[in-house]
Structure 1
Amino acid sequence: MSENVGELALRPFEERDFYPLVSLIAQTWLADFPGEPGELAATVELCDYLSHTTWSLVAERDGAPLGAVLLAEKDGVVADADEWRDRGSVAEREAARSPEATLAMDLEMAGVVEGAGLALDYEKAGAPEAAAALKLLIVSPEARGLGLGRRLLDRVRAHLRERGAAGYYLLTDDNCDVSFYDHMGLTQELRRRSEVTWPGEEPGADFGIYVYSERL
């Protein structure tokens, strides 16, 4: 069921959203790898997120996705998790045929693995907010000024409150506008310097990865 907000329609993720979101991820975080290399790396990353997703929301206007949020709840069931993992494995094998695509995939997934380690450290502390993880929150540049990031995050909050959740957490890094989460009232729980060297950065640069959380 979709929900209209102004010109935007908010609805759960559907198969038709997959490639538009792949393109949006590639444009947002893999701009150093234009074309197929970035698209393949973004495919692997999105499949990984979807294999954990129990609740989702896509914002679209005139049939074009402008943003999305993917949530993983510890007590939730992902019925199609194996299908997403298989789809990601196919993209990995395809990327392996191209050195540039392999580099893009290895860098992006190294960041995902590094973030997962930070998340595990946070979860081990036993915070109640660890019961739900925001896997992806992305907004198209075309949607700037619409307050779409806030709208999507507010819907996450409403969904979790309806389920009686104590809160949620998310991973982010200096490639993102970290100040958005400060502005939205989330708490920075952990910060670690990334060991991944991204294109255009000097080895050992102080590139931060973060855990943010919110008690509901």
Structure 2
Amino acid sequence: MTQTEKLTWRAFAPEDFERAAALLGRTWLPEFDGAAQRAASQIELAHYLSQATWSLVAERAGEILGVVLLAERGQEAPEGAGWTELETRLTRAAEKDPQLAEAVRTEMDGVREEAELEREYAAGDPAGVDAAVKLLIVSPDAKRLGIGGRLFSAALDHLRESGAAGYHLLTDDSCDVGFYEHKGLTQAMRRRSGAYWPGVDPERDEFYVYVYDQLL
């Protein structure tokens, strides 16, 4: 554990879950109301944690300012079964309320669509299949602190040290893909989305999901 400019950098811990999910919801799901945002963000975060083999959190004064999660080929997520069980339990609870169920379905349909694209990408066995950045999220309150870049660099340092030949990530038009292009990633796959995305009119708007990758 190291501290720089009052920031603490450490691995993700189970007690981070509520705060990290709240950050995910506030940043990625602003269109959802409070209860729906909480349900969808917790289920999505549990889904990513169930695959995560390495993690890093940036924290300041008890506030989580950023999280990055990696999934590495051939490795098991240390707490994967527990996070999968939590995802299932939270999903079943949300299904009892029509409003929550609809919010969760909307969010996870996009996640599943990206996962299908990822499977097609992996079928070609590119070098980037060695690892995936499953989550990279930074608080809007920390945009000028360089936290996203530092989390991303730490993840790549870990992958290089582990001997990965490359890595990939999934993203979509709601994210700043320019950040990844600036970091040297290239677009490996693109597909027009068939899922519903809040704020996007599928009849009028073209909304794409992507795979970006990079050799190490």
Q: TM-score range by the shorter chain?
A: over 0.9
Q: What are the Cα deviations for residues 67-106 of structure 1, in whole angstroms up to 9, with x where unaligned?
A: 0000000121223211111111111111112222111100
Compare 98-107 and 53-62 and name the one that shifted more: 98-107
SS of corresponding position for 1:144 = helix
Q: Which residue of 1 aligns with 2:126?
A: 127
Superposition pairs of residues 7-156 of structure 1, within 5 angstroms: 7-156=6-155
Segments of 5+ residues of structure 2 without an aligned counterpart are none
CA contact (8 A) 2:50 2:79 kept: yes
Q: Is 2:156 the counterpart of 1:157?
A: yes
- Counterpart CA distance in 2 for 1:54 and 1:118 is 21
* Contact 1:50 1:70 (8 Å CA) reproduced: yes
Cα distance between partner residues in 1 of 2:198 and 2:55: 31
Using the alignment, how far apart are the partners of 2:156 and 2:84 within structure 1?
A: 27
**3-state DSSP of counterpart to 1:165:** coil
Return the letter of the residue paired with 1:210.
Answer: Y
Give the deviation of 1:198 after TM superposition: 1.9
Cα distance in structure 2, aligned partners of 1:208 and 1:4: 38
- The SS at the match of 1:188 is strand
Q: C-alpha separation between the residues in 2 aligned to 1:200 and 1:134?
A: 25
Alignment partner, residue 209 of structure 2: 209
Q: Distance in 1 between matches of 2:96 and 2:79?
A: 27
CA distance in 2, matches of 1:129, 1:93: 34
What's the offset of the Cα at 1:176?
1.0
Runs of 4+ in 1 over 4 A off after TM superposition: none
Residue identity over aligned pairs, in percent, reads 46
Partner of 1:182: 181
Q: Deviations over 1:9-55 (max 9, x none)?
A: 11000112100111111111211112111111111111110110000
Give the superposed CA RMSD.
1.0
Partner of 2:192: 193
CA distance in 2, matches of 1:145, 1:80: 33
CA deviations 1:142-195 (Å, max 9, x no partner) are 111111111011001100111111111000111111111111111111111111
Structure 1 length as normaliser, TM-score?
Answer: 0.96
**1:214 is matched by which residue type in structure 2?**
Q
Q: Secondary structure at the match of 2:144?
A: coil
1:117 is matched by which residue type in structure 2? E
* Aligned residue-pair number: 215
Gaps of 5+ in 1: none
CA distance in 2, matches of 1:186, 1:141: 23
